Amino acid sequence: MVRSVEKAFRVLSAFDSGHGALSLSQIAGATGLDKSAAQRFTHTLLTLGYLSKDPVTKQYELTPKTLDLGYHYTRSSALVERSLPYLIHLSQVTAETVSLTVLDGCDVVFIARFLSPHMLNTGVIVGSRRPAYCTAPGIAMLAALPPEEAIDILERSDRRPYTPNTVWEMEALKEKLRHTRERAFSLANEEIHIGDISLAAAILSGTGRVAGAVSIGVSRIRYDKDEAVDKFAPLVVATAQSVSRAGPVPQLR
Protein backbone atom coordinates (compact mmCIF):
# COMPACT_ATOMS: atom_id res chain seq x y z
CA MET A 1 0.00 0.00 0.00
CA VAL A 2 1.57 3.27 -1.17
CA ARG A 3 0.20 5.78 1.32
CA SER A 4 1.07 8.83 -0.75
CA VAL A 5 -1.04 7.53 -3.65
CA GLU A 6 -3.92 6.82 -1.26
CA LYS A 7 -3.68 10.37 0.13
CA ALA A 8 -3.64 11.91 -3.35
CA PHE A 9 -6.85 10.09 -4.23
CA ARG A 10 -8.28 11.14 -0.89
CA VAL A 11 -7.74 14.77 -1.93
CA LEU A 12 -9.39 14.22 -5.32
CA SER A 13 -12.33 12.44 -3.68
CA ALA A 14 -12.96 15.43 -1.39
CA PHE A 15 -14.50 17.24 -4.34
CA ASP A 16 -18.10 16.16 -4.93
CA SER A 17 -21.46 17.61 -5.93
CA GLY A 18 -21.69 19.59 -2.71
CA HIS A 19 -18.06 20.67 -2.64
CA GLY A 20 -17.06 21.80 -6.11
CA ALA A 21 -14.54 24.36 -4.83
CA LEU A 22 -12.50 23.96 -1.65
CA SER A 23 -9.92 25.99 0.21
CA LEU A 24 -6.75 24.40 1.49
CA SER A 25 -8.18 24.31 5.03
CA GLN A 26 -11.35 22.63 3.77
CA ILE A 27 -9.32 20.02 1.90
CA ALA A 28 -7.31 19.31 5.03
CA GLY A 29 -10.47 18.95 7.07
CA ALA A 30 -12.21 16.71 4.53
CA THR A 31 -9.22 14.39 4.08
CA GLY A 32 -7.87 14.23 7.62
CA LEU A 33 -4.49 15.52 6.46
CA ASP A 34 -2.62 18.25 8.28
CA LYS A 35 -2.41 21.55 6.41
CA SER A 36 1.22 21.02 5.38
CA ALA A 37 0.48 17.62 3.84
CA ALA A 38 -2.68 18.94 2.17
CA GLN A 39 -0.63 21.74 0.65
CA ARG A 40 1.95 19.31 -0.76
CA PHE A 41 -0.68 17.07 -2.34
CA THR A 42 -2.74 19.92 -3.79
CA HIS A 43 0.43 21.47 -5.23
CA THR A 44 1.37 18.16 -6.85
CA LEU A 45 -2.11 17.67 -8.30
CA LEU A 46 -2.13 21.28 -9.46
CA THR A 47 1.20 20.76 -11.23
CA LEU A 48 -0.06 17.56 -12.86
CA GLY A 49 -3.16 19.38 -14.13
CA TYR A 50 -5.81 17.57 -12.06
CA LEU A 51 -6.60 20.62 -9.92
CA SER A 52 -6.87 24.33 -10.72
CA LYS A 53 -6.61 27.24 -8.28
CA ASP A 54 -8.61 30.44 -8.42
CA PRO A 55 -6.16 33.34 -8.09
CA VAL A 56 -8.73 35.48 -6.26
CA THR A 57 -10.53 33.07 -3.90
CA LYS A 58 -7.51 30.72 -3.54
CA GLN A 59 -9.94 27.80 -3.80
CA TYR A 60 -9.16 24.61 -5.69
CA GLU A 61 -11.36 22.82 -8.22
CA LEU A 62 -11.12 19.64 -10.29
CA THR A 63 -10.13 20.09 -13.92
CA PRO A 64 -11.45 18.31 -17.02
CA LYS A 65 -8.32 16.15 -16.92
CA THR A 66 -9.89 14.17 -14.08
CA LEU A 67 -12.37 12.83 -16.65
CA ASP A 68 -9.57 11.00 -18.46
CA LEU A 69 -9.63 7.90 -16.24
CA GLY A 70 -13.39 7.53 -16.64
CA TYR A 71 -13.10 8.01 -20.40
CA HIS A 72 -10.36 5.39 -20.67
CA TYR A 73 -12.45 2.98 -18.59
CA THR A 74 -15.51 3.23 -20.84
CA ARG A 75 -13.42 3.01 -24.01
CA SER A 76 -11.50 -0.05 -22.83
CA SER A 77 -14.32 -1.94 -21.09
CA ALA A 78 -15.15 -5.23 -22.78
CA LEU A 79 -18.57 -5.14 -21.13
CA VAL A 80 -19.38 -1.72 -22.59
CA GLU A 81 -18.09 -2.73 -26.02
CA ARG A 82 -20.20 -5.90 -26.18
CA SER A 83 -23.29 -4.26 -24.71
CA LEU A 84 -23.50 -1.13 -26.84
CA PRO A 85 -25.18 -2.61 -29.95
CA TYR A 86 -27.88 -4.22 -27.80
CA LEU A 87 -28.37 -1.11 -25.67
CA ILE A 88 -28.70 1.07 -28.75
CA HIS A 89 -31.25 -1.33 -30.23
CA LEU A 90 -33.28 -1.37 -27.00
CA SER A 91 -33.17 2.42 -26.85
CA GLN A 92 -34.37 2.75 -30.45
CA VAL A 93 -37.15 0.18 -30.08
CA THR A 94 -38.55 1.61 -26.84
CA ALA A 95 -37.62 5.32 -27.02
CA GLU A 96 -37.06 5.04 -23.26
CA THR A 97 -33.97 5.58 -21.11
CA VAL A 98 -31.62 2.58 -21.24
CA SER A 99 -28.62 2.07 -18.96
CA LEU A 100 -25.73 -0.30 -18.35
CA THR A 101 -24.55 -0.60 -14.76
CA VAL A 102 -22.03 -2.54 -12.71
CA LEU A 103 -21.92 -3.38 -9.02
CA ASP A 104 -19.21 -1.65 -6.98
CA GLY A 105 -19.34 -2.35 -3.27
CA CYS A 106 -22.83 -1.47 -2.07
CA ASP A 107 -23.55 0.77 -5.07
CA VAL A 108 -24.38 0.52 -8.73
CA VAL A 109 -22.34 2.65 -11.12
CA PHE A 110 -23.74 3.76 -14.47
CA ILE A 111 -21.20 3.07 -17.23
CA ALA A 112 -23.39 3.66 -20.32
CA ARG A 113 -26.68 5.51 -20.67
CA PHE A 114 -29.06 6.45 -23.48
CA LEU A 115 -31.66 9.06 -22.50
CA SER A 116 -35.28 9.21 -23.57
CA PRO A 117 -37.02 12.45 -24.57
CA HIS A 118 -39.85 11.35 -22.24
CA MET A 119 -37.66 10.79 -19.18
CA LEU A 120 -37.73 13.02 -16.14
CA ASN A 121 -34.34 14.54 -15.29
CA THR A 122 -33.04 12.48 -12.37
CA GLY A 123 -29.48 13.80 -12.63
CA VAL A 124 -28.10 10.36 -13.48
CA ILE A 125 -25.17 10.42 -15.91
CA VAL A 126 -22.32 8.04 -16.74
CA GLY A 127 -20.27 7.70 -13.57
CA SER A 128 -23.23 8.29 -11.23
CA ARG A 129 -23.61 6.04 -8.20
CA ARG A 130 -26.82 4.92 -6.57
CA PRO A 131 -27.44 2.47 -3.69
CA ALA A 132 -27.88 -1.06 -4.99
CA TYR A 133 -30.66 -1.99 -2.56
CA CYS A 134 -33.20 0.52 -3.92
CA THR A 135 -32.44 0.49 -7.64
CA ALA A 136 -33.67 -1.98 -10.24
CA PRO A 137 -30.19 -2.83 -11.60
CA GLY A 138 -28.86 -3.19 -8.06
CA ILE A 139 -31.57 -5.66 -7.08
CA ALA A 140 -31.14 -7.54 -10.36
CA MET A 141 -27.43 -8.02 -9.73
CA LEU A 142 -27.84 -8.83 -6.04
CA ALA A 143 -30.44 -11.46 -6.90
CA ALA A 144 -27.98 -13.10 -9.29
CA LEU A 145 -25.26 -13.35 -6.63
CA PRO A 146 -24.97 -16.24 -4.20
CA PRO A 147 -27.47 -15.42 -1.40
CA GLU A 148 -24.80 -15.02 1.28
CA GLU A 149 -22.96 -12.42 -0.82
CA ALA A 150 -26.16 -10.49 -1.51
CA ILE A 151 -27.11 -10.45 2.18
CA ASP A 152 -23.63 -9.26 3.14
CA ILE A 153 -23.93 -6.30 0.74
CA LEU A 154 -27.40 -5.44 2.05
CA GLU A 155 -26.19 -5.55 5.65
CA ARG A 156 -23.30 -3.21 4.83
CA SER A 157 -25.53 -0.76 2.95
CA ASP A 158 -26.74 2.52 4.42
CA ARG A 159 -30.36 1.47 4.08
CA ARG A 160 -32.99 4.18 4.46
CA PRO A 161 -36.18 5.28 2.68
CA TYR A 162 -35.58 7.80 -0.10
CA THR A 163 -39.30 7.92 -0.93
CA PRO A 164 -42.46 6.45 0.63
CA ASN A 165 -42.07 3.56 -1.85
CA THR A 166 -38.48 2.60 -0.96
CA VAL A 167 -38.07 -1.03 0.07
CA TRP A 168 -35.29 -0.82 2.64
CA GLU A 169 -35.98 -3.16 5.56
CA MET A 170 -34.02 -6.40 5.46
CA GLU A 171 -36.86 -8.94 5.43
CA ALA A 172 -38.66 -7.07 2.66
CA LEU A 173 -35.44 -6.90 0.64
CA LYS A 174 -34.86 -10.64 1.04
CA GLU A 175 -38.36 -11.26 -0.30
CA LYS A 176 -37.68 -8.87 -3.18
CA LEU A 177 -34.51 -10.77 -4.09
CA ARG A 178 -36.41 -14.05 -4.03
CA HIS A 179 -39.12 -12.66 -6.30
CA THR A 180 -36.50 -11.23 -8.68
CA ARG A 181 -34.77 -14.61 -8.97
CA GLU A 182 -38.06 -16.27 -9.85
CA ARG A 183 -38.96 -13.94 -12.70
CA ALA A 184 -35.43 -12.95 -13.89
CA PHE A 185 -35.99 -9.20 -13.69
CA SER A 186 -36.31 -6.57 -10.99
CA LEU A 187 -38.64 -3.64 -10.54
CA ALA A 188 -38.12 -0.34 -8.70
CA ASN A 189 -41.33 1.66 -8.52
CA GLU A 190 -40.46 5.24 -7.48
CA GLU A 191 -38.02 3.92 -4.88
CA ILE A 192 -35.31 6.53 -5.26
CA HIS A 193 -36.88 9.15 -7.54
CA ILE A 194 -40.56 10.08 -7.53
CA GLY A 195 -42.03 9.56 -10.99
CA ASP A 196 -39.46 6.98 -12.09
CA ILE A 197 -40.21 3.30 -12.76
CA SER A 198 -37.21 1.11 -13.58
CA LEU A 199 -36.83 -2.51 -14.66
CA ALA A 200 -33.54 -4.40 -14.93
CA ALA A 201 -32.02 -7.79 -15.66
CA ALA A 202 -28.56 -9.08 -14.80
CA ILE A 203 -25.83 -9.78 -17.35
CA LEU A 204 -23.88 -12.94 -16.57
CA SER A 205 -20.35 -13.97 -17.49
CA GLY A 206 -19.57 -17.27 -19.15
CA THR A 207 -19.18 -18.85 -15.71
CA GLY A 208 -22.58 -17.61 -14.57
CA ARG A 209 -21.26 -14.83 -12.35
CA VAL A 210 -22.65 -11.30 -12.34
CA ALA A 211 -21.03 -8.97 -14.87
CA GLY A 212 -23.51 -6.06 -14.91
CA ALA A 213 -27.14 -5.19 -15.57
CA VAL A 214 -29.30 -3.72 -18.30
CA SER A 215 -32.05 -1.40 -17.10
CA ILE A 216 -34.80 0.69 -18.61
CA GLY A 217 -36.43 3.69 -16.95
CA VAL A 218 -39.87 5.06 -17.78
CA SER A 219 -41.97 7.91 -16.47
CA ARG A 220 -44.76 7.17 -14.00
CA ILE A 221 -46.80 9.79 -15.86
CA ARG A 222 -46.84 7.63 -19.00
CA TYR A 223 -47.07 4.13 -17.49
CA ASP A 224 -48.24 2.55 -14.30
CA LYS A 225 -46.25 -0.27 -12.72
CA ASP A 226 -48.16 -3.14 -14.36
CA GLU A 227 -48.08 -1.53 -17.81
CA ALA A 228 -44.31 -1.01 -17.54
CA VAL A 229 -43.74 -4.62 -16.54
CA ASP A 230 -45.94 -6.01 -19.33
CA LYS A 231 -44.37 -3.88 -22.03
CA PHE A 232 -40.70 -3.66 -21.07
CA ALA A 233 -39.74 -6.59 -18.82
CA PRO A 234 -39.47 -9.10 -21.71
CA LEU A 235 -37.32 -6.66 -23.69
CA VAL A 236 -34.97 -5.97 -20.78
CA VAL A 237 -34.55 -9.69 -20.04
CA ALA A 238 -33.95 -10.50 -23.72
CA THR A 239 -31.33 -7.72 -23.99
CA ALA A 240 -29.45 -8.90 -20.89
CA GLN A 241 -29.49 -12.49 -22.16
CA SER A 242 -28.22 -11.37 -25.59
CA VAL A 243 -25.28 -9.53 -24.01
CA SER A 244 -24.53 -12.55 -21.81
CA ARG A 245 -24.44 -14.81 -24.87
CA ALA A 246 -22.54 -12.40 -27.09
CA GLY A 247 -19.16 -13.58 -25.89
CA PRO A 248 -16.89 -13.40 -22.87
CA VAL A 249 -17.77 -10.57 -20.53
CA PRO A 250 -15.66 -9.64 -17.51
CA GLN A 251 -16.59 -11.23 -14.22
CA LEU A 252 -17.00 -8.33 -11.82
CA ARG A 253 -17.98 -10.27 -8.74
Each domain of the chain, given as residue ranges in start order, spans 3-64, 77-245
The whole-number average pLDDT for the span 235-240 is 98
21-70: pLDDT as tens digits: 999 999 999 999 999 999 999 999 999 999 999 999 999 999 999 999 88
> Could you give the CA distance from residue 28 to residue 51 in angstroms, rounded to a whole number?
15
Q: Which CATH architecture has domain 3-64?
A: Orthogonal Bundle (1.10)
185-224: pLDDT as tens digits: 999 999 999 999 999 999 999 888 999 999 999 999 999 9
Superfamily of domain 77-245: GAF domain (3.30.450.40)
Model's pTM, two decimal places? 0.88
Q: In what order do the strands lie in the sheet with 60-62?
A: 21-22, 60-62, 51-53
56-96: pLDDT as tens digits: 999 999 999 999 988 898 889 999 999 999 999 999 999 99
Closest CA to 237 of 138, 142, 140, 146: 140
Q: Is there a common fold for 3-64 and 77-245?
A: no
Give residue 206's pLDDT.
84
